[in-house]
Amino acid sequence: MNIIEKELFKLEDTSFLNSNISKEPSSSLPLAVRLRPKSLDQFVGQEHILGKDKLLRRLLLADRLQSAVFYGPTGSGKTTLGYIIAKMTESNFIQINAVSSNLNELRKCIDYARKQKNIKEDSKTIVFIDEIHRFNKAQQDVLMPAVENGIIILIGATTHNPAFSLNGPLLSRSMIFELNPLTQDNVIKILTNAISNKENGFGNIKLNIEEKALKHIAKQSSGDARRALNALEIGIMTTTPDKNGIIQITQKISEECLQKKIVQYDHDEDYHYDTISAFIKSMRGSDVDASIYWLAKMLYAGEDPLFIARRIVILAAEDIGNADPHAITIATSALKALQFVGMPEGRIILSQAVTYMATAPKSNSSYLAIEEALNDIKNNQVEEVPQHLRDKSYKTAKRLGKGEGYIYPHNYKKNYVIQEYKKINKNYYKPTSNGYEKIIKQRMNLFKKPSVKEVIQ
């Protein structure tokens, strides 16, 4: 908590809690803070939950919002929504950050909210917890009774999927609203407002910003309004006015202010899983360009290249299989080569492997075969090994009749002879007609003919 919020526990005046919401921001604060919207009408983006007749807007207008978790990327408006909700509902507002908070502070928040309920029964206290995914199980458990009994209205903000990071009981007591990255048009609208706003923006400054520069900032901020506003502020505050006193913001200046583009990507949550899923599905679907695009995104965001290589090896067996038997060799070779060469040159090795996998003929027959066989082992009676297939290499095996009657295929022409290898009459491996599996299928059809004793390859 900040100093002001700590002091609230010493006061009984609940109006003090809202003072930091309605108070005009200082000019020394970052532009993104100064321009924080104060109402839903000023809020830009998230039309899927805040548009006309959408659920969150309906709940807020009816003052029926209960505890909620706002889940989405940075700069999408999670904290801003918390402030707007507190103002709309005339609630006491306590903001804490899960990184620096602890159990003692949580209990203070809940005790304060309980006291306000005792003073005024319809009193509402919103406890806004930023980065709520950082709370451990014990901290989340402390919140549950207060949430369930309506002592507090919890609003959690997180960039991580709540399904992975929050306790099931807490999730079941909260509404989950996913916020999307802002669109390029959303960000341009926010930047345009910052340029024209005379109160907290740059409306009083002689300023000319190229349309290309504005679009570049909007595009490269990846839907993060905070990052876009920070870039705009840096550009304006560090650019010397021309001879006419006008600050000229060019595309070159905007590029310097943004530096490297940030890609939304966490390494243990759903951005990670969603991207690798798109990568695998693109290769499986034989879209080589999409496959390379998702590979590039993962590499740019800092994904472990060996993790990517291992996924390529799995795909080679699962989705290509015997349609192209070389695929598994290329995939494993790429993995070994990557370990030997390292990055950044390893990106070329991965690209070769990915383009091969995406354009190779596809078959999941090997995958389906083992899955079906495992299912039979799990759910049906397990066969004993036929007597003639049993090991006869040890001393007492012959006395037990093990291996008796086995026919050695290499004693026959073309190394094949018909004999029983399992009692269950079921085909697990069903090759397609794709790639090399077409040849395998032809050979298997010859093996199945009961009248044929020997087979020509």
Q: Which residues contact 407 (CB under 8 A, 6 or more apart)?
A: 388, 417, 419
Is 448 inside any structural domain?
no
Cα–Cα distance between 241 and 259 in angstroms, integer? 22
What's the token pair of residue 191?
Answer: 């930047």
Predicted local distance difference test score (pLDDT) of residue 451:
47
Predicted local distance difference test score (pLDDT) of residue 267:
57
Is 434 inside any structural domain?
no
Stated pTM of the model: 0.59
State whether the Cα torsion 148-152-153-155 is positive or negative: negative
Give residue 274's domain range: 270-359
pLDDT in tens, 253-281: 988 888 656 566 665 556 778 889 999 99
Of all residues in the chain, the percent with pLDDT exceeding 70 is 89
Give the residue from 229, 200, 232 showing the smallest Cα distance to 23: 200
User: 177 versus 12: which is more confidently predicted?
Assistant: 177
Same domain, 38 and 172: yes
- Residue 10 sits in a domain whose CATH number is 3.40.50.300
User: 218 versus 329: which is more confidently predicted?
Assistant: 329
Is 454 inside any structural domain?
no
Predicted local distance difference test score (pLDDT) of residue 292:
95
Give the residue from 315, 308, 360, 314 showing the smallest Cα distance to 339: 308
Establish whether the linkage from the previous residue to 73 is cis, with ω within 30° of 0.
no
Cα–Cα distance between 403 and 387 in angstroms, integer? 6
In the chain, the amino acid numbered 400 is L
Torsion angle (degrees, nearest 10) of CA 199, 187, 72, 16: 10
What's the token pair of residue 176?
Answer: 């989950």
Res. 321 pLDDT band, cuts 50 70 90: very high
What's the token pair of residue 47?
Answer: 């039309």
Highest mean pLDDT among 80-84, 115-119, 207-211, 348-352: 348-352
Is 283 inside any structural domain?
yes
Res. 2 pLDDT band, cuts 50 70 90: very low
Give the number of domains in the chain: 3
Cα–Cα distance between 376 and 318 in angstroms, integer? 20
pLDDT in tens, 42-62: 999 999 999 999 999 999 888
Is 424 inside any structural domain?
no
Last residue of a domain, one of 344, 359, 374: 359
What's the token pair of residue 431?
Answer: 């090759």
Last residue of a domain, one of 359, 392, 408: 359
Last residue of a domain, one of 308, 335, 359: 359
